[in-house]
Amino acid sequence: MGSVNSTHSLALANARLEIVTKGVAALKASVVELLNTAQEQEPTPDPSPSPAPASRPPSDGVGLYDGPIEFGIAQGGDQFVPTIYDVLADFESCEALGFCKVRVGDDLFNSVDVDKLGNSTIASQGYFTNVIKDWAPDANLRGLACSVTIEGRRTRFKVPDLHVPPDVTAVNGEELFSFVVKDASRETKKVPYLIVEDMGQWRKKDGLPGDPYVDYGDRLRLTKGNRISGIHLAYEYISGDKGSATVMHVEDGFLGSANVVLTGHPKIWLLVPPSHRHGLERCVRAELMSSEGSHNLCSQFVRHQNVLLAPELLQKWKIPYHVATCKAGEMIITLPGTYHQVVNAGPNYAQAINFAATSDWMSPPDEYRFCTVDCQPDGDSSITSDELRIWTKEDEERKNKEREEQEEKEKKKREEKERDRQEREEKEKKKRERERGEQEEMERKKREEEERGRRE
């Protein structure tokens, strides 16, 4: 009985399997037919490729922030400085380094029309030319420091081709700094470099968004001086060629700074951490300045030397430094007190601005010594402490009191001068009267003597 039931069950299972197999085969045939039909009906693809966004080099190197905070177009304008504060709070090692590097969003990177900007001509703008030449107060420093100055203004600037060829090799930052400085000892070079405040008149015409991306933030908006170039007005930079440079300096008022490269070749930065600021300044005073000019210095005295330093010189001085490559689509943020200098690896376009160090900033630290007109080799006016601070009610009252006291002093001085003048005039008057009386007496006596002579 058991054997008969088993045979029956096996036959039933085989029959069901045959039905399922036929169904699967039919389904498979239907699927294949549908796929073939779809392929026949699919339109032929356009052989011309669609335009691809500009390619971006990968980000790497010391100081690179790789956290979650983004820097796209939405973080520009009044969100720019708050986003910087967020990055700095999220990147603890930035304080010791004195800087960090941020990769900006693709939307910002692609906001520049490179084809339109490149080879355009900018008219009626400040045109500056870097003059890079040998400079060393001591023969032992030859090839270790060079002078970088500004030749002057012109009314037209020809923007170079800002495309970077795909076969360009990575830049060795230290070697580039060394090359530029040493090359200056062989010959003087003039490199086109446009450095001007926000150039709104030509932006849209030449492939740029209507307003700069960078912004100086709410704290600096409250300062009395609200039209200082580079601080309240963005600087825009167009390097005309490899080797254009910015001298070693620290930011005005020990502010922070942000510099974003939007297209073209990299900017190479050499940065000295804030903890070694005084060490660098001591070396500059001792080896690059005369003893007569090293007293009563402002906090910008290194900038006033107009020098680019070779890495070998900093090594000789035992001053630690970092070299950072800022490529297109990247931004360097410097912290207060960070000395830095820059060499461009080729033509590029960048924007830069200052910002207050903290969200409760009121003024530069007490140790910061402002420039005077005497500091400026070209006689330009300097930024004053009154311009670069936020004025509270107490500050206004103190300033008014100081002004009243100064006016009172000047009034007293004028009164004293007037009294002195009157006293001098009175003395002169009495002297003249006395001399006139004496003269009259002498003439009277002379007449009397002459009269007596006639009588005798």
User: Residue 195 belongs to what domain range?
Assistant: 73-368
Q: Could you count the other beta carbons within 10 Å of the beta carbon of residue 167?
A: 5
Q: Which amino acid is at 174?
A: E
3-state secondary structure of 88: helix
3-state secondary structure of 126: coil
Angle in degrees, CA 347, 351, 353, rounded to 5 = 145
State the virtual CA torsion across 299, 305, 308, 312 in degrees, nearest 10: -80
In a domain, 148, yes or no: yes
In a domain, 177, yes or no: yes
In a domain, 307, yes or no: yes
The per-residue DSSP string of 221-285 comes to HTBS----BTTTB-EEEEE-STT-EEEEE--GGG-EEEEEEEEESPEEEEEE-GGGHHHHHHHHH
pLDDT digit string (tens) for 16-41? 555 545 554 555 555 445 444 444 44
How far is it, in rounded angstroms, from Cα 269 to Cα 261? 12
pLDDT digit string (tens) for 181-225? 999 999 999 999 988 776 666 677 777 877 889 999 999 999 987
In a domain, 453, yes or no: no
* Range 133-139 average pLDDT: 81
How far is it, in rounded angstroms, from Cα 266 to Cα 394? 47
pLDDT digit string (tens) for 354-400? 999 999 999 999 999 999 877 765 545 578 888 899 988 887 788 78
In a domain, 432, yes or no: no
* Range 33-59 average pLDDT: 48
In a domain, 32, yes or no: no
pLDDT digit string (tens) for 283-312? 999 999 987 666 678 999 999 999 999 999
How far is it, in rounded angstroms, from Cα 207 to Cα 263? 12
Report field, pTM of the whole predicted structure over 0.85: no
SS3 annotation, 74-110: HHCHHHHHHHHHHHHHHCCCHHHHCEEEEECCHHHHC
Helix or strand run (H / E) with residue 128: strand 128-134
Q: What is the mean pLDDT of the chain?
A: 84
pLDDT band at 277 (very low <50, low <70, confident <90, very high): very high
In CATH, what number is assigned to the domain containing residue 357?
2.60.120.650
Which pLDDT score, from 0 to 100, does residue 69 have? 96
Q: Which residues contact 149 (CB under 8 A, 6 or more apart)?
A: 130, 131, 133, 306
In a domain, 189, yes or no: yes
C-alpha to C-alpha distances, 213 to 117, 175, 422, nearest whole angstrom? 16, 31, 64
CA end-to-end span of the chain: 199
In a domain, 243, yes or no: yes
Which pLDDT score, from 0 to 100, does residue 29 have? 52
pLDDT digit string (tens) for 137-188? 788 889 999 999 988 777 788 899 999 988 787 899 999 999 999 999 999 9
C-alpha to C-alpha distances, 35 to 38, 39, 41, 43, 49, nearest whole angstrom? 5, 6, 10, 14, 26
Count of structural domains, the chain: 1
